Amino acid sequence: MILSHILRYCGEIKQITERFGDSIDAFRNDFAYRHACTMCILQIGELSARLTDDFKQVYDGMPWKNIKAMRNIFVHDYNNLNIDTTWDTIKENIPMLSAYCSDILNQYKVLEQPALEIDYAKKDEDDLEL
């Protein structure tokens, strides 16, 4: 599912920030750090473009168009990348996106659980609980 892949990239961004140092100075001064995070953000944008319009209308708590737009900036204008904006995305928007996608997936997990089966033949009417 697309959301599972988005969650994986959100998790990778978290791991990358833990590995390289959770500071904007480390991000600003290490091209490998920037490249690793921006590649994940680029992939998130690519995946968000695959979500259906119906999905985006129902789950409108994320700015899906902006997520795709950031991907386009990373692809077409990477040399003019705004480091501060990217860092804000990593620290603020990615955790919100991760939580949002997790909530949606958890809703579906609940719906996919099998229903509790009751053998009504073995129960008296007095035993049935509603």
Q: Is 27 exposed, middle or buried (0-12, 13-18, 19+ CB in 10 A)?
A: buried
Whether the predicted pLDDT of 103 surpasses 60: yes
106 found inside a domain: yes
* Overall domain count for the chain: 1
Residue 78 pLDDT = 75
Q: What is the pLDDT of residue 116?
A: 62
Count the Cβ atoms, other than its own, within 10 Å of residue 89: 20
Summarised one tens digit per residue, pLDDT across range 30-64 is 999 999 999 999 999 999 999 999 999 999 999 99
Q: What pLDDT is recorded for position 87?
A: 97
| Helix ranges (DSSP H) in the chain | 2-20, 24-29, 31-48, 53-58, 64-76, 83-88, 94-112
The reply to whether 76 falls in a domain is: yes
pLDDT for res 120: 58
In a domain, 122, yes or no: no
